[in-house]
Amino acid sequence: MRKSPQGQQQNPDGAFTPNIDFPPRPEPTNYCGISTDSLMRSVVDSTINSHAGVEVERLPEPSAWRVSSGVPGPSVSIFGGVHGNEPCGIHAVCELLGLLVSGELKLDCGSVLLCIANEQAVFHGVRATSLNMNRIFDDTRHVDTSYLFRRTEALKSLIEHSDIHLDLHSTSQPSSPFIFLEHGHRLEVADVNIPFIVTLDDADMAKDFSGTTQSYARRRGAKAYTIENGQHEDPRSREHALRISIDFLKREGLTPNGDRQHGSPRALRQFLMHKKQSEAFHFRKPFRSFERLSRGDIIGTEEGRLLTAPEDCFIVLPTMPDREPFGAYLYFLAKEEI
Ligand SMILES: [Zn+2]
């Protein structure tokens, strides 16, 4: 299964050259109405191979599995579906589970924990059923017993001892794949095979994104990365999520890495984060991430006030303003690191 002669591909973003082949599989456009716990179980049942030499463990928390090599090495956790309308992470988690339990992707050392995080939002095909799960991984222990908080507390304990944590996401607007992380950690990912990395000042990350799974894992001592793999509906986002995850396993030595291709992502540093202050916000046009702006270019209007680029830069992560609450970011502006 899953052998393909597709070979290397070059996408319009140029730098991204995958280094593992896998064939396209028919997938639902999203995972609405699907029990992710049953989905992961069926992946294991259909791929498990007693000769793979791995221990496969279904964790007490649903939609969470650990595959262990039995050889000392890094503990890696990979989350998909923190936002329920982002199918790429769910796809990658299920594919990785199948590849590892079948032995098709050989696990030389360490362990990989694979989890579909917000099962409820995935089932309903929405970003969040109430609060944004990726803002409540803070250090206070939630006593609320509703699904969202109970699940978040359980997931916190799953990543408590991770050495490396990946959180797989996608974007509402078209985008090249990128890693989003603290500026101080940018050199950790300088050779990842991905077109861009986007960094935020460490203080801004701590202030505005302290409740992400990435920030939580960082505070527990892990190297942790939020990976944006492209637009939600773009089928390439699923390929990116899988390939980038495998690239991390290779570079950390968990899987054979003789064929690993080093990348050299372009590094952009965020210098402005525009937060929603009014319902009367309009982008001048639908922007895509990494679109270039020249100084003075009009980005949009808010309460009739013109919003312009203060200098030559790139726009990153433009959102759907009508879907965001007050205080949420609507776009970033970033410059290339010299
Ligand atoms: Zn997301």
Confidence class for position 29, pLDDT limits 50, 70, 90? low
Name residue 336's beta-bridge partners. Answer: 268
Burial annotation 259-287 (CB, 10 A radius, 16+ → b, else e): ebeebebbbbbbeebbebeeeebebeeeb
Say if CB 82 and CB 213 are below 8 A apart.
yes
What average pLDDT does the segment 177-196 reach?
96
Confidence class for position 40, pLDDT limits 50, 70, 90? very high
Same domain for 229 and 287? Answer: no
Same domain for 311 and 214? Answer: no
The last residue of one of the domains, among 193, 216, 251, is 251
79 or 8, higher pLDDT: 79
Question: What is the whole-number distance in angstroms between the Cα of residue 296 and the centre of ligand 1?
Answer: 30
The last residue of one of the domains, among 216, 251, 286, is 251
129-164 pLDDT, tens digit per residue, is: 989 999 999 999 988 889 999 999 999 999 999 999
Task: Report the domain count for the chain.
Answer: 2
Question: What is the whole-number distance in angstroms between the Cα of residue 283 and the centre of ligand 1?
Answer: 21
Same domain for 69 and 153? Answer: yes
Question: What is the whole-number distance in angstroms between the Cα of residue 116 and the centre of ligand 1?
Answer: 13
Closest CA relative to residue 272, chosen from 326, 314, 224, 212: 314
Say how far apart CA 47 and CA 328 lie, in whole Å. Answer: 42
Question: What is the whole-number distance in angstroms between the Cα of residue 229 and the centre of ligand 1?
Answer: 10
pLDDT value of residue 322: 87
Same domain for 205 and 291? Answer: no
Question: What is the whole-number distance in angstroms between the Cα of residue 83 and the centre of ligand 1?
Answer: 5
Same domain for 47 and 172? Answer: yes
Range among 61-75, 138-152, 252-266 with highest mean pLDDT value: 61-75
The sign of the dihedral angle between the CA atoms of 145, 149, 151, 156 is negative
Say if CB 155 and CB 62 are below 8 A apart.
no
Tokens 């595959």, located at residue: 67
Question: What is the whole-number distance in angstroms between the Cα of residue 132 and the centre of ligand 1?
Answer: 9
Determine the structural domain holding residue 294 and report its residue range: 272-336
Q: In what order do the strands lie in the sheet with 164-171?
A: 55-58, 64-68, 111-116, 75-80, 164-171, 223-231, 178-182, 196-200, 266-275, 329-336, 313-316, 291-293
Same domain for 114 and 187? Answer: yes
pTM reported for the whole predicted model:
0.90
The last residue of one of the domains, among 189, 221, 251, is 251
Answer whether residue 116 shows pLDDT above 50.
Answer: yes
The maximal CA–CA distance of the chain, rounded, in angstroms, is: 65
Angle at 110 between CA 8 and CA 53, to 5 degrees: 80
Same domain for 240 and 277? Answer: no
Residue 17 lies in a domain: no
| Cα separation values, 68 from 12, 98, 297, Å | 37, 14, 52
Question: What is the whole-number distance in angstroms between the Cα of residue 227 and the centre of ligand 1?
Answer: 9
pLDDT value of residue 153: 97
